[in-house]
Structure 1
């Protein structure tokens, strides 16, 4: 995970921690950051609920790729909502690469993420 932004947010450390875990493809570290009742949606997949479902979905997705790396170019906060955007660089199992823009909206419940929506087109994977 690389931060390449001039925007400042009180939630920058949380975003950095989340995307470090995502890029490490570590579902356990990801779910440590989410609320027990989290709502999660990746791309145009249906939303899922709960920490266990989020962990299972991330493990399943990570099995389809070799690696990924996020470059975050903006982070903004409004109350308990955090927005970030950037580019995600995927390495497929055949070692070819694919890069696309992404954006995420994170709703917070205290220090935990309760709404986790990622807007990205992964159809090229």
Structure 2
């Protein structure tokens, strides 16, 4: 059977694939590859075939991290190829965050990845992080990564005991337990919630502002994307106030 592909279709497949890697769901990600697919990460030797790619992925970097998120900067589709420029936020096993630039090339065969080439220098990932005080920007990145991973348990640990979470026009929710009780049923409505961060600024000693798009993937297959601005105020290394300015009403209708 011949598969008809339309412009942008392969880019959409790649975005979905990146989301699977973000959830560290390697097995499902590999279902999007051909049986004889080629994979090359940085300067590592190429891996050929799904089992070899699984082993190469684990050996190259997944054993060194407990979480990962991707900020896609640009994506181009040309014939059977998709090029993706992005920043990768690695959450190391010690909790520190490392952000590295990367560009990937995906060559497709129908709706499957025939070849994936990862162009980056991952050396800092395997180097012990310098001893330095974590910044509130680092913490904000980990906070967003916890949402990407649908890890509510970790997410609420970033708040002070009286920390407030406020979304749009709703009244603030106070304290980690109340935030958790609010978030779990909300997150249960969606198979995934992704964040495409455009800019992140530390505007003063205690405040981070994040400009992003939030995409809700509802379990009934509907997808909703909304512009959003977050203001995160810290008390020390904990979130005292998190305000999300967006209108996500259509995702819940």
* TM-score, normalised with respect to structure 1: 0.88
Task: Return structure 1 stretches of 4+ with deviation > 6 angstroms.
Answer: none
Partner of 2:102: 102
Q: Paired residues, what number?
A: 118
1:11 to partner: Cα distance: 2.3
Residues 11 and 75 of structure 2 are in contact (CA less than 8 Å); yes or no, is this contact kept in structure 1? yes
**Residue segments in structure 2 that go unaligned for 5+ positions in a row:** 1-6, 126-253
1:108 to partner: Cα distance: 0.5
Aligned partner of residue 95 in structure 1, secondary structure: coil
Partner of 1:89: 89
1:78 to partner: Cα distance: 1.2
Please identify the structure whose Cα radius of gyration is greater.
2
1:12 to partner: Cα distance: 2.6
1:75 to partner: Cα distance: 0.9
Partner of 2:148: none
How far apart, in 1, do the equivalents of 2:124 and 2:8 lie?
A: 32
Aligned partner of residue 25 in structure 1, secondary structure: coil
Residues 30 and 55 of structure 1 are in contact (CA less than 8 Å); yes or no, is this contact kept in structure 2? no
Residues 37 and 48 of structure 2 are in contact (CA less than 8 Å); yes or no, is this contact kept in structure 1? yes
Residues 72 and 85 of structure 2 are in contact (CA less than 8 Å); yes or no, is this contact kept in structure 1? yes
What RMSD in Å do the two structures reach over aligned CA positions? 1.4
Equivalent residues in 2 for 1:1-125, closer than 5 Å: 9-60=8-59, 61-125=61-125
Aligned partner of residue 44 in structure 1, secondary structure: coil
**Residue segments in structure 1 that go unaligned for 5+ positions in a row:** 1-7
